[in-house]
Amino acid sequence: MLSQRESKIEDFAYDYLSSYYRKQYLVSDLYVGKQEQTKHGQEVNGLFSLKKNDGAFFAATLSTSHSNKLAALLNNYKKKGLSKLRYITAVVVLAGTAALGYLSGHWALLWIMPLLAAVTGFIIHTLLEVRSLNKELEKAVDAVKKQPANERWLGISISSMSFRNNSLADKLLQICQQKGVGLITVGKRAKVVLLQEPRTSICRKGDYLSHYAAEVRIRKSLTDAFMKVA
């Protein structure tokens, strides 16, 4: 039995999503693959495929490879917020501008400009740091978004407490919602938490199984199971 410290999204997400799709589409047969390759060499951590009652094939992917990095970003922001380097930037700008004012002998540069420059430097550093963090989140979600599937999931090993009163976690949820990516987490209690459901997309040509190297094998296994039920 896993201890609370060892709870990983990889150990719980597959069972959770398998149950999720069986209930959603009322099917018993579901193909679940791990580390599946696309025909273009892209790898997805998890692939869930089924044949719907109308005969159409459905595919969903799970991405867990970004779990550690995203969890570290969110946990660090929850505990510490933005870095203290912003204050160092402000002090350096203040000292530099004050020194310039002293050497020039101009009273405005000596008393007013250093304060304005320090505040401006602090704000700019803050905005750039927030932008950098948001870019990291968006980069991870974009990688999931590019996976060929009707629905795409991002899984993170992190406590749900890390999402409370955490503006960076709110931003991640916002990005997932905008891009139609589902988000699930698992924390120390080994319970999967559904934070965001994915938006279903339709393949423009055929279905998304045609993108995978194991297409023929997956289709055969699902079709054979479908015919037995029918």
The most confident of 92-101, 138-147, 159-168, by mean pLDDT: 138-147
| 105 confidence band (pLDDT: 50, 70, 90) | low
165 vs 85: which has the higher pLDDT: 165
Rounded to an integer, what distance in angstroms lies between the CA atom of residue 208 and that of residue 163?
Answer: 32
Instruction: Say what the pLDDT of residue 1 is.
Output: 35
Q: Where are the domains of the chain?
A: 4-78+139-229, 81-128
Cβ(195)–Cβ(183) below 8 Å: yes
**Mean confidence (pLDDT) of the chain:** 87
Torsion of Cα atoms, 131 then 134 then 140 then 145, to 10°: -100
Q: What digits encode the pLDDT tens for the residues 63-86?
A: 999 999 999 999 999 998 877 777
Give the chain as a DSSP string. Answer: ---GGG--HHHHHHHHHHHHHHHHHT-S--EEEEEEEBTTS-EEEEEEEEE-TTS-EEEEEEE-TTHHHHHHHHHHHHHH-S-THHHHHHHHHHHHHHHHHHHHT-HHHHHTHHHHHHHHHHHHHHHHHHHHHHHHHHHHHHHHHTSSSSEEEEEEE--GGGGTT-HHHHHHHHHHHHHTEEEEEE-TT--EEEEEPPPP---SSS-GGGGBTTHHHHHHHHHHHHHHH-
Which residue(s) pair with 73 in the sheet? none
The alpha carbon of residue 142 and the mean position of all alpha carbons in its chain are separated, in whole angstroms, by: 8
Cβ(150)–Cβ(182) below 8 Å: no
The total number of residues shown for the chain amounts to 230
Average pLDDT for residues 136-152, to the nearest whole number?
97
174 vs 88: which has the higher pLDDT: 174
Has residue 6 got a pLDDT over 50?
A: yes
Instruction: Say what the pLDDT of residue 147 is.
Output: 96
Has residue 186 got a pLDDT over 60?
A: yes
